Amino acid sequence: MTSFSSGDANSKTLLKIAKSLRFPGDFRLSGTVVKNGAVFAEQNFCRVFRDRNRRNKNSDVSSSKNSGKPFRVSSARLQRSLRATFLGLAVNVLLTAAKFTAGVIGHSQALIADAVESLADIFSSIIVWRGLVVAETPPDEKHPYGHGKAEPIAAAIVSIMLMLAAGFIAFHSLQGIVEPRNAPSPWTLVVLVGVIALKETLFRFVLDESAHVESSALETDAWHHRADAITSGAAFVGVTIALIGGKGYEAADNWAAIAAAFVIAFNGLRLLRPALSELMDAAPDAELIARIRTLSKKIPGVDDIDKCFVRKMGYQFFVDIHVVVDPLMTVERSHRIGHQVKDQLRAEIPAVRDVLVHIEPLKIGRIIEP
């Protein structure tokens, strides 16, 4: 039992403060006049406060170590992403050489344009590779929120490269239309069939991997493979028409390549928009935010959720949430509730990297939603 002297008003004030903080044990006035009683009370109060504060600090550290998930580079995620990226890189190198050689020997402008598109795929795969590695780098002093933005940056660059490749293909194909040229060789169709089958298989594999690791950069790289398959498909149609039509239809594969260029440009623009949205911290889908609110309200002591802001950083989310509590609640109790909200969200939603909790007092007359 901690005893305070009632020697003066300061001792009584310290006693009220100690009671409001709900220290363990009973507090009472001694009922006797002690010389320098205020000093005695102040010394005892400060000692108890320091002990309690030390226990709280140790408890917070322990809770953070046990329930928090330290940011570590997800080696499994990184290795899976790089495996898909390097596989695409190796395939693109081989296809670029094969298509360019076949296009020159077989007199197919569409196949040459297709080889250029595959060359762009090589550079895009390198960009995605570096984006994935940088994004997994742990936070540092200059980047306390991590390096997750490297993924949407890589996705945006690859999207722009898709549109540039589409422009090059269209320009090169238009030149082939106005210039006299020989009809493509029939055996180029065999090359194109192999390219389409390989690229479509690669697209499906990389897209599936991007869904598993939740990587926007890898998803964009997958669609780059699909764009290559579309270009090869258009070249196949054009070469077939040129061979069946005979003289006067030599430019059919050029027109097919131009049609494919528009499809590629559309895909590039479609993939650029979500990358830019992520770079500008656009809010994720409403379903995720609603789930965060619901989970937070389940914590005892949480009366309501005032605001909830979520932003995406790579494949992880950062949450800023305003929790409404009883205005008469102690700071220590509300602080504990804040930690419980954070731990609950990180445990239930693994993609949540960190949660910043702001405590709001419940206003009188406020209507609380059930």
Instruction: Indicate whether 165 pLDDT > 50.
Output: yes
The pLDDT value recorded for residue 314 is 74
Residues 124 and 257 in one domain: yes
| Segment 334-343, tens digit of pLDDT | 999 999 999 9
Measured between alpha carbons, how far is 28 from 5 in angstroms, rounded to an integer?
8
User: Is 367 among the domain residues?
Assistant: no
User: Domain limits at 310?
Assistant: 286-361
pLDDT for 70-118, tens place per residue? 444 456 777 888 888 888 888 889 888 888 888 888 877 777 777 877 7
Of 255 and 326, the structure prediction assigns the larger pLDDT to 326
Boundary-marking domain end, from 279, 305, 321: 279
CA dist 363 and 370 (Å) reads 16
CATH for 149 = 1.20.1510.10
The number of folded domains in the chain is 3
Structure tokens at 196: 């389409």
Contact 275, 152 (CB under 8 A): yes
Do 160 and 181 lie in one domain? The reply is: yes
Closest by alpha carbon to 313, among 101, 144, 92?
A: 144
Contact partners, residue 52, CB within 8 Å, separation at least 6: 21, 23
Please check whether residues 185 and 98 belong to one and the same domain.
Answer: yes
> Are 109 and 227 within one domain?
yes
- Between 206 and 23, the more confident residue is 206
61 vs 224, which has greater pLDDT?
224
Final residue in a domain of this structure, among 279, 306, 331: 279
Round to whole Å and give the CA distance between 202 and 207.
Answer: 8
Mean pLDDT across the chain:
76
260 and 303 housed in the same domain: no
Whole-number CA gyration radius for the chain: 33
63 touches 339 (CB < 8 A): yes
At 254-279, the pLDDT tens digits run 787 788 788 878 888 888 888 888 88
Among the listed residues 295, 237, 227, the one whose alpha carbon sits nearest the alpha carbon of residue 266: 227
Q: Are residues 123 and 50 in the same domain?
A: no
Q: What SS3 state is found at 325?
A: strand
